[in-house]
């Protein structure tokens, strides 16, 4: 039975869509119009009471799934792919997946929605500056980890759910917050991370996932704003 993915172009659902396309899973995608705040509508809140995308409905599960990392782990386990084959690398997969979710993605959310966390323009600017330094340190850590296992992926030789998560975060941090995003040159200064992003960009399944959300061109380095930006 097919999965259902709730999405808005270039929102966190793109991470799940890349995984679904890489897996070759059968799914339908239902758009949630964030410009009309449809993610806060009573109909959508039944799927995720937080009012956040993505949501994946797996008809074999008793409830809809939310939280990007949980969805990714579920898919990797169900399909026995997008994770290292060696069971001894399970812990490594988990620690980096959780790092991406509750450190990098969580900091980016604060950077993108700073006005929810601070009031004055001074405190917003100060918070963004701190976050920028934190995010750059996190990217340096990820670059070193790719090198430690000699790449090309975060887990080493095997593409995993971590790579699609990481790539989407790096895409967004060059776009948002608008006018105050991290420059592409700062990402390009990290050679292993840049190489990973370029390799992922060339994968047909990844390009197909973005094309389905109306996005083409360079996906992860010096990306362009989507035609219907939602963030």
Minimum CB–partner distance for residue 182 and ligand GSH (Å): 17
Identified binder of ligand GSH from the candidate list 7, 11, 187, 192, rule CB under 6 A: 11
Among residues 182 and 192, whose Cβ is nearest to ligand GSH? Answer: 182
Q: Is 114 in the site for ligand GSH (CB under 6 A)?
A: no
Task: For ligand GSH, give the closer residue by CB, 39 or 174.
Answer: 39
Say if CB 32 and CB 7 are below 8 A apart. yes
Least distance CB 191 / ligand GSH (angstroms): 28
41, two tokens: 């509508």
Q: Biggest alpha carbon distance in the chain? A: 51
Residue 14 Cα distances to 122, 208, 210, angstroms: 33, 11, 7
Of 12 and 187, the one with the shorter C-beta distance to ligand GSH is 12
Sign of CA dihedral 49, 166, 31, 20: negative
Q: How many CB atoms lie within 10 A of CB 23?
A: 19
Q: Among candidates 219, 173, 214, which has minimal Cα distance to 31?
A: 214
Using CB under 6 A, count the residues that bind ligand GSH. Answer: 11
Pick the binder of ligand GSH from 9, 39, 84, 164 (CB under 6 A): 39
Applying CB under 6 A, which of residues 64, 79, 94, 109 lies at the interface with ligand GSH?
109
Question: What's the Rg (C-alpha) of the chain?
Answer: 17
Q: Which residues bind ligand GSH (CB under 6 A)?
A: 11-12, 39, 51-53, 67-68, 101, 105, 109
């Amino acid at each position: 039975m097919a999965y259902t993915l709730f999405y808005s172009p270039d929102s966190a659902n793109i991470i799940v869509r890349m995984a679904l396309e890489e897996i070759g899973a059968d799914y339908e995608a239902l758009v949630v119009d964030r410009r009309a705040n449809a993610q806060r509508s009573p109909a959508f809140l039944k799927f995720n009471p937080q009012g956040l995308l993505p949501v994946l409905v797996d008809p074999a599960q008793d409830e809809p799934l939310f939280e990007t990392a949980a969805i990714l782990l579920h898919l990797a386990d169900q399909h026995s792919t997008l994770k290292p084959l060696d069971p001894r690398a399970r812990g490594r997969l988990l620690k980096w997946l959780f790092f991406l979710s509750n450190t990098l993605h969580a900091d980016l959310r604060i950077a993108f929605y700073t006005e929810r966390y601070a009031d004055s323009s001074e405190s917003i600017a100060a918070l963004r500056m701190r976050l920028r330094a934190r995010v750059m340190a996190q990217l340096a850590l990820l670059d070193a980890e790719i090198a430690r296992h000699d790449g090309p992926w975060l887990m080493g030789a095997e593409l995993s759910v971590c790579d699609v998560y990481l790539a989407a975060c790096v895409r967004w941090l060059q776009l948002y917050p608008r006018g105050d995003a991290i420059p592409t040159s700062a990402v390009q200064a990290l050679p292993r991370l840049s190489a990973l992003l370029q390799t992922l960009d060339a994968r047909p399944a990844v390009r197909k996932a973005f094309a389905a959300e109306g996005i083409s061109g360079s996906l992860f380095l010096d990306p362009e704003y989507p035609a219907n930006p939602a963030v």
